[in-house]
A and B are shown apart, each in its own frame.
Chain A
Amino acid sequence: MAENPSTPARRLTWGLACAGAAILLASAAVAAPSDADFTRLNQSVALAHITPRYARLAEATAKLDQAGQALCQQPDQARLGQARAAYVAGFAAWEGIQHVSFGPVELFFRYQRTAFWPDPRDVLGRQLGQVLAKADPASITPQAFAQGSVSVQGFTALERLLYGDDTLPRLTAKDDAARFRCAMLTAITGNLAAIATDTAAAWGAQGFPAEMARAGQVGSRYMVPTDATLELIKSLHAAIELPIDRKLKRPLGATADKAQPRTMEAWRSGQTLNAIKANLAAAEALYLRDGDPTLDQLLSGPAGRADLAAAIRKQFAAVQQAVARLREPLDKTILKPDQRQAALRVVEQGEKLKRMIAEDLTEALGVPLGFNSLDGD
C-alpha cells in the first residue's frame, strides 16, 4: 500500500487522532474549576468587594450620626438639609452592600436593624407611631434596640423622621414630643453607626474574608470551598432580584391600575431610582470587577464558558441601558405610560439576567443556587 497521506487508511488514523484530541479537550472544558480556584475567588472577592463596602458604610453612617446630632442640637433648615444629605450618602452606601446578607451582618439581626424593608404591611408605620406616641426614653436605648423590634431603628425609620410632613416644626417645637423625636433620631443615627462599625470590623482581613478562605478546612463553617462561593453567587443573585423583582416588578403590578408605588423603596426621600442603580452597579462589580479571579474570569477560564461569560456581560449592559431611561421620582413617573413601559423593559431585561445567573452560571460552575430567603411571599 502506497504511503500516501490521502489514502483512506491515513484519513482514518487522522480522524481517530482528532477524535482523541476532542475527547481530551472535552474533559478539560467540562471539568469544573478546582477547589484552589474557588478558594482564591472566595477570599479575593471578599476582600475586594465586601470589605471596602462595609468600610464605606461605617464611614458614611459615622458622618450621618454627626449630622443627626448637629441637627438636634439646634434644629434649623440648614442643618436639616445637611442631615438629609448625610442620610442620602449613608443610604447609598447601604444600597451598595444591601445584597450581602450572610456572615457578620446575620448576627444580632444587624441586617434588618440597618434597614427594615420590604414592608408591604407597613409594620414600620404602626410601630414607629407607637414608639413616638409613648415617648418612653427607655424604648430607644441601645439595649432596647438590641432586644426590640428591628423596624424602628434603621434607615427606613430615620427616613420617616427626616422626610415626613412638617419635619422641621416637629423638631423645633419646644415640647416633650419634639425632644423625644430628636432623641429618637439621634438614637437611630448612633445605632446605624455602631452596627456598621461592628460589621466592618468583622469583615477586616483577619475576620470573615479569612473564614471564607478557610472554607473546606477542618473547623470551617463551610464544608467545601464552593459552599462559600455559593454565598457570593446568592449575593449576586440578590443584587439583581432585589431591584428588579422587589423594587420594580411588584410595585408596577400586573396592570397599570394595579400599580402600588407606595410599596417602592425610599420614595419619601426620592432615592428609589438611585437605590436600584446602586444595587445593579454592585451586581456588576461583583460579577465583573471585584476579585482575582472574578466570577467572570472563573467562568471564562477554568469553567471553559467564555461564551456564557460574554453573554452575561452583554446582558448587564442591556439592563444598564434600560435603567438609564428611568426618571426620578420613580413612584410618580411610573404612573405615566411611557415610564411604565420603560420600567417594564428594565424588568424584562433584569429577569433575563437573573435567570442567566440562577440557571446558567450556577450550572457552569457546578454550584447550584439552592434556596433563598426571598422564596416565601
Chain B
Amino acid sequence: MISRISRLLAVTALVSLPLTAAFAQTAAEKQAVVAGYADIAAAAYGDALTTARTLQQAVDALIAKPSDETMKAARAAWIAARPSYQQTEVYRFGNKIVDDWEGKVNAWPLDEGLIDYVDAGSYGDASDENPSRTANIIANPKVKVAGKTVDARKIDAKLLRKLHEAGGVEANVATGYHAIEFLLWGQDLNGTGPGAGNRPWTDYAKDGCTNGHCDRRAQYLKAATDLLVSDLAWMAKQWTKDGKARQGLVKGKPDNGITTILTGMGSLSYGELAGERMKLGLMLHDPEEEHDCFSDNTHNSHYYDVIGIRNVYLGEYARADGSPLKVASLSSIVAKADPALDTEMKAKLEATVAAMTALKQRAETKEAYDQMIGPNNPEGNAVVQAAIDTLTAQTRTLERVVAALKLKPIKVEGSDSLDDPAKVGKK
C-alpha cells in the first residue's frame, strides 16, 4: 500500500510541473512521426493496389487468350506486385485492423491441394492436422471441407471467402497472393534442387486443356485476383485522411503510436521473418518452408520486408513509380533521446539490408532460396543464417529503443481471434 501511495505522489509531482516548451514539442514531434507513418502506409497500400490492378489486367488477358506469352506476362505482373505489398508488412503487427485482415491477402503456407491438383507422390493425403488438404475445389463441384459438403458449382468470391481457413485450419488458404501464385506457377516439384513451379499455360487452354477443368481454374484465378484487388482497395482506404487505421493512430496518445511503429518493426524482424519464415525453413531444410514457394520469389519477399522496416524508422519510402516520399522520422525522436542509440539503430538496419541484399543477389545469380536452405549446403545456409543474425541483432537494438523512449511494455500478441478469453467457448 505504501509503495502505491508513494508512486502516486511521484507521478503527481511529475504532472504538476509546468509543461515546459521542450516537453510539448516532443509530443508534437511524436504526433508528426505517427502521421508520417500513416502517410507511408497510405502510399504503400496505394502502390500495392495499383500493382495488383496491373496483375488483374494481366490475369484477364491470360483468361481471354491463354498462351505462353499471356501466362508469362501474368507471372511477371505477380512478381511486380510483390515489392509494394511486402513493404506494408511492417504495418501488420501492432495495427489490429491490419492483422485481422492480413490472412485474406497473404496467408501462407498453404495446403494447395485444397485448390487444385497436386502431385500425389510428394504431397501426400489428408493429414491429422488438415483433413481438407486434398479437397481440390477446381475439380469438384461439391467439396467436403471441415465435415460439411459445400456447393462449389460456381467458383466466385463468395465461395472462396467461405472456404478460406475453413474448419479453423490456417493452411486452408483459398484466397490471396499465394493462392494466385499457385494458380500461375503450380507446385515446385524440384525439392531443394533448381527450378520453380512449372504449370503449363495449357492449364487455362480453351482447346487442349491440360489437367482438366481449365474453365473452372480460370474462374478460380479470376475470383481470387478480383478479391485481392478489392481487399487491397479496402485497406488503402483505411489509411487515407479519414480512414479508420489512420484516425485510430493519430487520435490516440502519441506514445501509443510510437509503440505501434516499434511493435511492427520488432515483431516482423524477429518472430515472423527471422523465426517463422527463415530459421524454421533453415533448420528443417524444407523447401515447403519457403515463403513464395511456387514462384521461387522468396528472396524478394524477404528483401522488401526489411526495406519496409527501414522505411518506417527513417521516414522514407520510394513509391512504386519511383517518386520519393519523406516524412517526419522516428529516427529523429530517438536521436533526441539518445544520439548513439539512433546511430546504432541505423547501422543495424543497414546491416540487415546488406545481408538481405547478399541473399537476393545469390538468388538472382547462383541458386534459389529453397536451394540455399537445403541440407549439405553450408555456404547457402550461411547466407540465410547471416540475415537471421542481423534481424536478431536489430531486434535487440529495437528493445533498447523501447527502453530509451520509456515506452510502456510492448504487448507481444494481439494477433489471435482468441485474445479475449470471455469470447472463447461462445458459439
Contacts and interface: CB of A to CB of B under 8 A. Distances in A.
B266 A123 contact: no
B171 A375 contact: no
Contacts of B286: 123, 127, 149
Given A371-B267, A373-B270, A253 B284 contact: no
B6 A304 contact: yes
A347 B412 CA distance: 17
Contact of A375 (B5, B10, B271): B271
Contact of A262 (B93, B128, B422): B128
A358 interface: yes
A301 to B, nearest CB: 11
Contact of B410 (A148, A255, A351, A368): A368
A65 to B, nearest CB: 23
Contacts of B421: 344, 347-348, 351
Contacts of A370: 266, 395, 398-399, 402, 410
A336 interface: no
Given A22-B6, A149-B283, A344-B425, A373 B275 contact: yes
Given A149-B375, A344-B421, A363-B408, A368 B399 contact: yes
Interface residues of A, number: 62
A26 B10 contact: yes
A304 B3 contact: yes
B426 A255 contact: yes
Given A122-B129, A363-B408, A377 B276 contact: yes
Contacts of B403: 366, 368
Contacts of A149: 283-286, 375
Contacts of A121: 109, 129, 171, 288
A125 B276 contact: no
B409 A252 contact: no
Interface string B60-74: 000000000000000
B6 A254 contact: no
Most buried by B among A29, A112, A125: A29
Interface string B366-384: 0000000001101000000
Nearest to B10: A26
A351 B93 CA distance: 20
A358 B376 contact: no
Contacts, number: 165
B48 to A, nearest CB: 21
Contact of A25 (B6, B270, B423): B6
B412 A371 contact: yes
Nearest to B415: A377
B425 A340 contact: yes
B407 interface: yes
Most buried by A among B277, B399, B411, B417: B399
A359 to B, nearest CB: 5
Given A258-B168, A377-B415, A123 B284 contact: yes
B4 interface: yes
B271 A109 contact: no
Given A147-B375, A368-B399, A375-B270, A30 B412 contact: no
A43 B328 CA distance: 43
Chain A binding surface, main DSSP class: helix
Contact of B409 (A27, A260, A347, A358): A358
Nearest to B171: A121
A98 B71 CA distance: 49
A368 B266 contact: no
Contacts of A374: 271, 412
Contacts of A219: none
A254 B418 contact: yes
B9 interface: yes
Contacts of A22: 5-6, 9
A318 interface: no
A34 interface: no
A254 B424 contact: yes
Contact of A369 (B283, B409, B422): B409
B7 interface: yes
Interface string A123-147: 1011100000000000000000001
B285 A371 contact: no
Interface string A15-28: 00000001101111
B170 A372 contact: no
B88 interface: no
A191 to B, nearest CB: 15
A150 B421 CA distance: 34
B272 A376 contact: yes
Nearest to A362: B409
Nearest to A355: B411
A120 interface: yes
Most buried by A among B4, B170, B267, B284: B284
Nearest to A148: B375
B360 to A, nearest CB: 21
A132 to B, nearest CB: 14
Interface string A207-251: 000000000000000010000001000000100000001000110
A9 to B, nearest CB: 24
B127 interface: yes
Closest 8 CB pairs of A and B: A375-B271, A376-B276, A370-B399, A376-B272, A258-B168, A376-B271, A371-B266, A26-B6
Interface of A: 22-23, 25-30, 109, 112, 120-123, 125-127, 147-151, 223, 230, 237, 245, 249-250, 252-256, 258, 260, 262-263, 304-307, 340-341, 344, 347-348, 351, 358-359, 362-363, 366, 368-377
7 contacts: A25-B2, A123-B284, A249-B416, A304-B3, A370-B399, A375-B271, A376-B270
